Structure 1
Amino acid sequence: MNIKSKNKFIAYLIYIIIFILFLKYGYEYGFYNLQRPGSKYLEYYLFGRPVVWAYLAFYFALIDLMLALPRFMNTIKESGVWKFDWIVFLAVCVPSLYVSITPRIPLEWVHYWPLRDYLGQWGGLFQNLTVTLFTYFFITSFNKSEAD
């Protein structure tokens, strides 16, 4: 094993340890401290919603940021011109963003937001997974290609 491979192995090992610790402690903090009955954070509101939903959205977005970071770092190291993959953005990111923000819109906008009642019944896990999809595919849709 050469030095470059050893350094890469150590970097990925440290990265995955930090990622696992982030998952563990983020989950414990978010689900045990913020959502337990009697928590003072359940009384705080942001845009008419409990602060807890904002924490969960950012938590799942940060998970995906960490998942997409190694690929994005490799893309930065490549030579070429930055390109944005509009097909991935329109096919994956826009629908997942729509689904993820649907239950969080104010009730006054129901008439302007199709499928709100239907998508809102699917539960919070579905919306959090769509935040995950959006963040990962948004970050990975930035690529470099050879100059024309």
Structure 2
Amino acid sequence: MLADIRSEHDAWQAMNASGSYSDATALGAAALGASTELFLDHAWRRFLSVVDHAPTLLDRCRPATSPWPDDASALSRLADAVSDAEALLDEIVHGDAVPEQERRARAWPAIETWLTDGDAFLRQARLSAPHRRPALPVTAPARPLPAARPAYRSH
């Protein structure tokens, strides 16, 4: 999801910087506002997946024991950003209605933090993921087990 958000963010930034659509048609102020709202809405929907899954993964990360101990501060910022997004989501779901403009304004700092520091998270999450044992190579066909002998019993 972070890669999708980053890709959309890059396209949105390029369009805003150029002042034109990809077909070179000039963007007016209304179009810039609409493209920003559309980008933020898409980013929020994708970011909800990060909000769902990141807390568990962040808990598994141990930067102090990794080759990148300096990632600890980035992971702290990411955890705070997720916490802020969880609070916003909780308010949207269980509280009063949050106007779209306010939701966009409150969601963007969390999303931006993840775009900025997400690489540290990915690095640490990969390192902390449970490792699967490699499959054992099959070198010879399996032989059937010998038939079991009855156990000796003394009466």
The structure that is strand-richer by fraction is 1
Q: Which has the higher contact order (CA 8 A, sep 6+)?
A: 1
TM-score class normalised by the smaller sequence: 0.3 to 0.5
Bigger CA radius of gyration: 2
